[in-house]
Chains A and B, each alone.
Chain A
Amino acid sequence: MYVLLLLAIPFVFSLISVLLPGNLAKKSALLGSLLQFVFTLWIAIWVYPCTDLSIDLPWVASLGINFSLNIDGVSLILIVLTNLLCPIVIFSSFENRNYSEVPSFYMLVLLMQTALIGVFTAYDGFLFYVCWEAALIPIYFISAIWGGVDKVRITFKFFIYTVFGSLFMLAGLIYIYLKTPAPHSFGLDMFVTADLNSAEEFWVFLAFFIAFAIKMPIFPFHTWQPETYTESPTPATMLLSGIMLKMGIFGVMRWLIPIAPFAFNDLNYWIVALSVIGIVYASIIAIMQSDFKKLVAYSSIAHVGLISAGLFTGSIEGFQGAVIQMFNHGINVVAIFYVLELISQRTGTRQIANLGGIVFKAPMLSIAFLIIVLGTVALPLTNGFPGEFLLLFSVYKFNMWFGAIAGLTIILGAVYMLRMYKNIMLGSAKSNIDNFKDLNTSELAVLIPICILIIAIGLFPNVILQSTDSYAADLMQYVKENSFAGMVGLVK
């Protein structure tokens, strides 16, 4: 019931929003997303620990398709993240005249939220696929309608590229479905017990992997990402970078590893290697970017590269590091895009070279921005540190040289982030900031909680780590031993 409500709230508010005039639409959307957030917190704190949240309704019974949803630790983290970020995304759009009064914009954002919750809770392969594709549609329209120059070409490429990946996943899903004991089923528990020989597992693994690798994205499947992030309107960039890319990571955790553990063990070396290359490659490219949105887009590829490197080591440190970093990357990247949106709205430029000296006009913005930058470069006692520490450790344990190369991220990250911060915020003031206003009350209302969160998670990372600790331990045990019995217990 709780899970259905989580799906229903954003869905109902999306319908309400589209029926209201513009200035009310945005308020109702914000109200809906805040309601959803409060409800989520209530579930996370009081309901989740002591209640079975699973739902299993027959949907297309003849095909073994069930409307089956559940919330486990990993889902919970991502649902909290999604519902925490959506109000911020909606709120950040209020000042932008292009879409702030357009009801359908808010409808699309809330539909996206609904689909994302579906992705993170689905325990049925078919339902998962439907939600997975459904999440793409709203974001495609947001980017294609309100994007920047060249939006049609860029969003088209994004759309085709990701759909291309998902089709492989669909093929993989259907293949496993056919391998489940008759009468066939799309249930995750049945998928896990499906009888695949090693060649079959190899191909199924690849099919899923391509979908997830494009979504995250992992090097070299990333080239849709920088342009899409840069040219999309900022709310879409936030949704893409903050939440949507986590679908790929989540897919690996929930679907890929349990379904194809043998192939995972065979192939993970190469994926870790690719991810590590991606970290360094994207970091180096980020250094010389002149458009700050594109710089953050490349930095995001580097950060996600580290998450996937750690996750694919198949160790508990890597898994837990990926979980916590997924959450914190979401917060930090959305926060950073939010700050950059404020700056580009006030100055009319995204070019780093045209900015400078904002600190004189906006000390509070500078402090908030600095805290977010520090979180991004994983300074200890900010939220970025525990994840980066665990992930780098897992990669180092997996292969010492990979670990040392991946570790370059702590140097290169400081190089490009501090260079950006210095050039935008410090130094002599440029003329385009003469009328630059510091944060107003509502902007503070967004940034103060974010900054507090950055430091609070940095101080108490165990709050997040604990919620997935047992799942991670079981899963890693399973990968090591391939004890199917253990896995069946796990997914139920």
Chain B
Amino acid sequence: MLQLAWLIPLLPLIGFLINGIGYKSLPKSVASIVGSSVILGAFTIVVSLFIGLLNGSIAPTVIPLYDFITVGDFNITFSFQIDQLSVFMMLIITGVGFLIHLYSAGYMHDDEGFNKFFAYLNLFVFFMLLLVMGSNYIIMFIGWEGVGLCSYLLIGFWFSNDSYNDAAKKAFIMNRIGDLGFLLGVFLIIITFGSTEFSQVFALAKEYEIDNKGTTIITAISILLFIGATGKSAQIPLFTWLPDAMAGPTPVSALIHAATMVTAGIYMVARSGILYALSPVTMSIIAIVGIATALFAATIGLAQNDIKKVLAYSTVSQLGYMFLGLGVGSFTGALFHVMTHAFFKALLFLGAGSVIHAMSGEQDIRNMGALSKKLPITFITFLLGTIAIAGIPPFAGFFSKDEILAKAFEVNPIFWGLGVVGAMFTAFYMFRLLFLTFFGSFRGTHEQEHHLHESPLSMTVPLMILAGLSVVGGFFNVPEVLGGNAALANYFAPIFSDAQLIMTNEAHLLDHTTEYILMGTSVGLALASILTAYFIYVVKKTVPIADGQSLNPINQLIYNKYYIDEIYDTIIRKPLDQFSGFAFNIIEKSGIDRIVNEVGAGTIGAGKTIRHLQTGNIGFYIFAMVVGLVLIIGIGLFI
């Protein structure tokens, strides 16, 4: 099976080529079958690799394909890393990816760009697989930028709408800001370790010890790489593209902007775990950025009325939790949350898509309500996803979030406290969303009401499977205190053992009583939030007020997302545009070019004395030049 590993990214690429070249002529059925089956094929191979890794018949290995860039002694190979971590990510990408392809066949059915959509999705999966399979930072970077491209193409999928195009462009450019950090980090890695290959870099890094002077460089490397992660994974300060990215079709939001691409930053940090473990400073920065983003985005989520915007801010917030996990040294916890989040957030987005589909494109939850009867499957699956994200046991989100929070408490109880507050907000805004959408009375138009229908099977089956995973996904890593065996932690042990070894010294393990109290507190507060939301939106039937009516200042601030976009616009975009105009008109035209022209004019002025030789005819000058050359050569020949 290992010999077939290169097929895993190749299959989606083939799907892309077939659908891309045949985008005009292929029937939709063929496009969707090709698009989905290549992902299923890749998933099958990944599963067999996974089983092989579990039962020991496959050893983690690097599969080299060819030399990609060779300069002098420095060589970058195009090669794939097959180990516990990459296979774990590949399972999510191809597994959840396949379900989303299946769903798209129904969701996008009436869209003219159907074939193109499948081509782009396949291309995305290809690049995402490169990202996690690459055995060095360059292949990772290829995937890293490639998924950015697909994100750009898919956000702007409906390109007649200019604001969608702007959202796509914004996503690409903000990601590129992060990518510059990533690239500089890679440069520093090459300078420091002489290689980009994970195995070589990490083997050399292991020799370092915390507090010796070499770690300054490691800190610089890890911070630069993390800047890349803040772009791709939408953390402060580079998060504002993700909510705008909701302009893309909903399956895109589920696949790219929830389940896979945005978790690339977490994967990258976990993959480079040893570099991060060597730099406590960076770890603290990551934890602080993570918890700050988690809280900040959660508060914005409290006041949004667009069903997808709520989920988008929720994603930003959940990604913050994952970074908190990384920052406090719980790599397994962060990846665990990547997985459970992939299940429930993909489910929630697809559920939202099903609602939007039924509501004829409506996304404002103020115009929904009482959809539970008309969309029973969507409702039940959405409910399960909501409970999962709210952190109610024994659903998936509870276990992964708890693991991160418990570890955060070990490192610093303040992290834990803020994390629990964020979890309260999460429970509140998610149930607010659920209640406003599915409970109460219908608030849309008559046409919308008439049109309401449950989605076709191709859409509801993925919802049901993801709902199942959102319910049971947490059991992959039940903590010991709850009688579990921490299976995922054991699975990842070979990957993270070196990093853990460096980090363990400071952490003091929690006793069981403390753990129970922590769990009880966070679950109790989440339940209280849910009850509050129930009281406000079901019992009192409150509906958020319409646009244009005045809000109190705090609500106003939150509703407008703290005006971050406006601030960026004022301090970066406009000055850049103005500076561009200034550089062109003043420095270029009135400065440099004017000096050049005047030097030229001065020469001409001086030349006026020998003006009689100047006929102003360029042809004459060239003639004179040729004659001169002939003379030089001629004289040369005769002397």
Q: Which residue numbers of A lie inside 8 Å of B, CB to CB? A: 59-60, 62-63, 65, 130, 133, 137, 140, 144, 156-157, 159-161, 220, 223-224, 281, 284-289, 316-317, 320-321, 357, 359-360, 374, 379-381, 385-386, 389-390, 392-393, 396-397, 403-404, 407-408, 410-411, 414-415, 418-419, 422, 426-428, 460-462, 465-466, 469, 472-473, 476
Contacts and interface: CB of A to CB of B under 8 A. Distances in A.
Greatest chain A CB density within 10 A among B160, B190, B580 is at B580
B1 interface: no
A376 to B, nearest CB: 13
B636 A223 contact: no
B566 interface: no
B138 to A, nearest CB: 8
A159 B621 CA distance: 11
Given A223-B593, A379-B146, A411 B584 contact: no
Contacts of B71: 316-317, 320-321, 390, 465, 469, 472
A414 B588 CA distance: 22
A427 B145 CA distance: 24
A140 B618 contact: yes
Given A144-B618, A285-B580, A288-B581, A407 B184 contact: yes
Contacts of B138: 389
Interface stretch (B175-183, B502-510, B538-546): B175-183
A37 to B, nearest CB: 26
Contact of B160 (A59, A360, A414, A469): A360
B600 A392 contact: no
Interface string B611-639: 00000001000100100010001001101
Contacts of A414: 172-173, 176
B176 A317 contact: no
Contacts of B146: 379-381
A287 B576 contact: yes
Contact of A410 (B67, B165, B176, B639): B176
B629 A130 contact: yes
Assign chain B's interface to a size class.
35 or more
Given A374-B149, A381-B142, A427 B162 contact: yes
Contact of B584 (A288, A392, A419, A461): A288
10 contacts: A63-B636, A161-B600, A287-B576, A288-B577, A288-B581, A320-B72, A396-B184, A403-B184, A422-B165, A465-B69
A418 B162 contact: no
Greatest chain A CB density within 10 A among B72, B176, B625, B636 is at B72
Contacts of A427: 159-160, 162, 165
B169 A393 contact: no
B622 A288 contact: no
Contacts of B67: 462
B618 A157 contact: no
A359 B162 CA distance: 13
A36 to B, nearest CB: 25
A223 B629 CA distance: 30
B622 A411 contact: no
B70 interface: yes
Contact of B145 (A359, A379, A411, A466): A379
Contact of A461 (B68, B156, B581, B636): B68
B336 interface: no
Given A408-B180, A414-B176, A285 B584 contact: yes
Interface in B316-337: none
A442 B632 CA distance: 47
Nearest to B20: A367
Secondary structure call for the A interface: helix
Given A60-B636, A289-B584, 8 more contacts: A65-B633, A140-B618, A156-B618, A392-B187, A396-B188, A411-B177, A422-B166, A460-B66
A16 to B, nearest CB: 22
Interface in B120-160: 138, 141-142, 145-146, 149, 152, 156, 159-160
A268 B629 CA distance: 34
B285 to A, nearest CB: 19
Nearest to B24: A363
Interface in B581-601: 581, 583-584, 587-588, 592-593, 596-597, 600
Given A133-B625, A285-B583, A462 B618 contact: no
Contacts of A286: 580
Nearest to B587: A281
Contact of B69 (A144, A403, A462): A462
Secondary structure call for the B interface: helix
B72 A316 contact: yes
Contact of A465 (B70, B152, B584, B618): B70
B535 interface: no
Nearest to B592: A220
B579 interface: yes
B183 A392 contact: yes
Contacts of B571: none
Interface string B392-432: 00000000000000000000000000000000000000000
Nearest to B145: A380
Given A160-B600, A380-B145, A381-B142, A407 B183 contact: yes
B191 interface: yes
A110 to B, nearest CB: 18
Contacts of B625: 133
Contacts of A466: 70
Given A144-B618, A220-B592, A465-B69, A415 B173 contact: yes
Contacts of B191: 396-397
A223 B596 contact: yes
A369 to B, nearest CB: 13
Contacts of A60: 633, 636-637
Nearest to B187: A396
Contacts of A426: 156, 159-160, 162, 165
Contacts of A422: 165-166, 169
Contacts of B583: 281, 284-285
Contact of B580 (A140, A287, A360, A390): A287
Contacts of A393: 187, 190
A411 to B, nearest CB: 5
Contact of B187 (A144, A357, A386, A403): A403
A472 B72 contact: yes
A403 B184 CA distance: 8
A411 B600 CA distance: 36
A130 B632 CA distance: 12
A288 B580 contact: yes
A389 B141 CA distance: 11
Contacts of B74: 317
Contacts of B596: 161, 223-224
A430 B72 CA distance: 52
Contacts of B179: 410
B618 A159 contact: yes
B483 to A, nearest CB: 47
A390 to B, nearest CB: 6
Interface in B547-605: 576-577, 579-581, 583-584, 587-588, 592-593, 596-597, 600
B579 A284 contact: yes
B142 A418 contact: no
B169 A419 contact: yes
Contacts of B173: 411, 414-415, 418
Nearest to A411: B176
Contacts of A408: 180
A336 B232 CA distance: 29
A386 B69 contact: yes
Contacts of B629: 130
Contacts of A285: 580, 583-584, 588
A408 B176 CA distance: 9
Nearest to A421: B169
Interface string B65-91: 011111110100000000000000000
Question: What 9 pairs between A and B have smallest CB-CB spacing?
Answer: A380-B142, A288-B580, A60-B636, A223-B593, A63-B636, A287-B580, A426-B159, A396-B187, A316-B72
